[in-house]
Amino acid sequence: MHWADYRKDCRKAKVHIGFDINQSIPSKIFLTDGKADERPFVSRILSSGQTGIMDRYYQCHKDFDLWQTEGKSFVCRIRENTKKTCIKTNIVKPGSIVFYDAIVLLGTAGVNQTEKELRVIGYRIDNKVYWVATNRFDLSAEEIATIYKLRWNIEIFFGWWKRHLKVYHLIARSEHGLMTQILGGLITYLLLAIYCYNHHKEKVSIQRVRELRIKIQNEARNLDADLPTPACHRADIHNLKEQHGRSFAIP
């Protein structure tokens, strides 16, 4: 994998996936070498009017301005010590998990401050504090917190994909070969998603995959049993029996 630059004596490839939370399926995919930055792919994955949900790695104040210019929404976790210049404070509901809701400019003026206003939500779950930046001004603070929680869905997908579709066992080393293998795994997942929804109104689960595998194996055995053995094949088996004096199973 000489194309997959990473460091001396080490090669890595990186997959950038857009995951549609509404349908629980991957929607867009890009493949790069291991050194490629992930943040520029947000603009390529998100379409105008969509909302991207991202973890702290994607915090970049220039990108926050860019995405708003492109008409794209985002909910992105930010570092707790990020400087916030408050423009307007929103009312926080008593007893809510949310303790902070304000319209701000992020960053230090003259250094890395955003040009466009953002909304920052601070909330606490199980004594853990989260700070989230967003340009969704139309939702409640609690709804923003719920949206960020949905980001975990892509981790569940990746875990399932790696564990059950065996994408880490490479059968190709070229860029096109690796992309073909990854696409094969994603197509398999999409077919499973269609099957599980159409037949069981469920998301993909290993239980349904096992049931489907057994069903396919049983149907394949029944099909083989119903197929007649060609005359030429029967003659070949007869000759082998006479030559070697032993039985052969018909595949």
How much is the pLDDT for 251? 38
State pLDDT tens for residues 128-151: 999 999 999 999 999 999 999 999
| Cα 236 from chain centroid (whole Å) | 51
CA pair distance 251, 112, nearest whole angstrom: 69
How much is the pLDDT for 117? 96
Reduced to 3 states, what is the DSSP secondary structure of residue 27? strand
Task: Show the tokens assigned to 90.
Answer: 């929103």
Question: Dihedral, CA atoms, 170, 176, 182, 187, nearest 10 degrees?
Answer: -140
How much is the pLDDT for 242? 53
How much is the pLDDT for 248? 39
How much is the pLDDT for 104? 97
How much is the pLDDT for 171? 82
CB 230 within 8 A of CB 62: no
CA pair distance 31, 51, nearest whole angstrom: 22
How much is the pLDDT for 208? 83
Question: Which portions of the chain are predicted below pLDDT 70?
Answer: 166-168, 227-251
How much is the pLDDT for 250? 39
Q: How far is CA 50 from CA 46, 116, 216, 225, in A?
A: 6, 19, 38, 52
Neighbours of 181 (CB within 10 A): 17
How much is the pLDDT for 247? 43
Q: If we measure between CA atoms, which residue out of 148, 106, 155 comes closest to residue 125?
A: 148
Query: What are the DSSP calls for 79-122, one per residue?
Result: -TT--EEEEEEPPPPTT-SEEEEEEEEES-TTTT--SS-EEEEE
Q: Nearest 5 degrees, angle CA 187-CA 191-CA 193?
A: 115
Q: Could you say which DSSP state residue 46 is in?
A: P
The structure's pTM equals 0.78
CB 29 within 8 A of CB 186: yes
